[in-house]
Amino acid sequence: MNPIAQELNAVLSAQNPALLEMLSDMGKRLFFPKGILTQGAEAKEKAFAANATIGIAMEHHRTMHFQSLMDQVNEIPPEESLTYAPSFGIPALRNAWQAELFAKNPTLSGKRISLPVVTCGVTHGVSTFADLWVDPGDTLVLPDKMWGNYNMIFSVKKGAKIVTFPLFSGSGGFNLKGFEEALRKEAVSGKVIPILNFPNNPTGYSPNRAEGEAIVNILRGLAEEGIRVVVAFDDAYFGLFYDDAVFPESLFAALAQSHPNILAVKLDGATKENFVWGLRVGFITYGCKADGDIARVYEALEKKTAGCIRGTVSNAPHLSQTLLLRSMGDRRYAAEKKEKFEILKQRALRVREVLKQGRYQDAWEAYPFNSGYFMCLRLKKMDAEALRVHLLEKYGVGLISIGDRDLRVAFSCLEEGEIQDLFDQILAGVRDLSRGGA
Ligand SMILES: Cc1ncc(COP(=O)(O)O)c(C=O)c1O
């Protein structure tokens, strides 16, 4: 094992040995290399005559560039857009995102969390989490309604196993009993890895306060019994909560620094929260407890994480990070965020209102939803894929079928005035197929 990795592992082992045990084999081997990157950083500080270290190109002592490209981003100099960002992400953005995490999650007040490490979107955050904390053969606990890409990341690529529990209980809330049972079954191995995604894709569900507290208590209970709990929160759609009953924070905030056996990992991003999907900026943030110096623990985890990024995409796009940072510092930012939130909320409320109409009752039931971009219909007697294809072909309506019976609607993409028509078209499609026609 590389000596730098050994040093980082020694830090973790001295401050909280449970953390070292929780790391995957790859996580244990990971480190942030000194080599070119640190030599380049040293040269940046001291090489006043000539800096010929990094693999970019210079001209007249400025970053070489095409004017045809820079004209498109005229406010931003090449040094803040074309050059490489650090594998950790640009420091000002990491600080700004951390400050937002504290502002958005008051429960974090008084707690210490790591600086967020910048990823290429939340997908890359999930995959980096998998590299650091999941070994082939490990089992992850997820609800049965989940983002399909988890299969690709955890099962296909990592060789881990996913076990699911029904997301909803019989009464329509979060299935606390099923969640705890699934965890307890896996706890015999001494380690559990639940992934919690709220607002949930595909259903648009987020837990209410009582459910949120109960989830936290279940995980704390396991930790107190000596089980290592590595819990990831996929907060891709964080903050899009449309109902006062919803737990208004990430459960990461409650679990960060709550027990030495709990490692809470927050995976979030500007992609969905700030509506910049293609800019590919996500974050991975840690919250854990240590006896000694927590700053050293976070530094070790951030270095391992940045080392993993260095070995995959090297770094997230500098231009994207600068655009986001500048937007977050703009005086219009807060108002823009609120305005877009209100638009999505009005659409969600309109969907709820439309769905109350009795004529849909025979065709489907809507899963509970209170947040995010999506809602999901459970078709009563219709194959979801057959209906999807029919709706597309006859009505030009595009939806996503999931499994045999579920149809996902991204109301985030619909104008409020289009919502009634959409559900009427789905109903027409159901009736066409029930009659055996097309
Ligand atoms: C639950 C969930 N997590 C992560 C992602 C990926 O987000 P990103 O575009 O930031 O990679 C998605 C996107 O579809 C998602 O639904």
Structural domains present in the chain: 3-32+87-328 (3.40.640.10), 38-80 (no CATH), 334-434 (3.90.1150.10)
Given a cut of 90, whether residue 54 has pLDDT beyond it is: no
Determine the pLDDT at residue 53: 77
What atom of ligand 1 comes closest to residue 281's alpha carbon? 10
What atom of ligand 1 comes closest to residue 121's alpha carbon? 10
Which residues share a beta bridge with 400?
408
Determine the pLDDT at residue 429: 97
Segment 252-294, tens digit of pLDDT:
999 999 999 999 999 999 999 999 999 999 999 999 999 888 9
Q: pTM of the prediction?
A: 0.96
Segment 290-346, tens digit of pLDDT:
988 899 999 999 999 999 999 999 999 999 999 999 999 999 999 999 999 999 999
Write down the residue that tokens 């209970």 correspond to.
Answer: 221
Share of the chain above pLDDT 70, in %: 100
Write down the residue that tokens 């208590």 correspond to.
Answer: 217
Closest protein CA for atom 7 of ligand 1: 122
Given a cut of 70, whether residue 438 has pLDDT beyond it is: no
- Does the Cβ of 121 fall within 6 Å of ligand 1? yes
Determine the pLDDT at residue 55: 84
Contacts of 113 (CB under 8 A, 6+ apart): 98, 101, 256, 257, 266, 285, 286, 287, 298
Share of the chain above pLDDT 90, in %: 89
Q: Compute the distance from residue 123 Cα to the ligand 1 centre, in Å.
A: 6
Closest protein CA for atom 3 of ligand 1: 236
**Distance from the first to the final alpha carbon of the chain:** 63
Given a cut of 90, whether residue 75 has pLDDT beyond it is: no
Q: What would the two tokens of residue 149 be?
A: 């890409």
**Sign of CA pseudo-dihedral 339, 345, 346, 347:** positive
Segment 24-41, tens digit of pLDDT:
999 999 999 887 777 777
Which residues share a beta bridge with 19?
none
Task: Annotate 87-145 with DSSP letters as a single string.
Answer: TT--HHHHHHHHHHHHHH-GGGTT---PPPEEESHHHHHHHHHHHHH--TT-EEEEESS
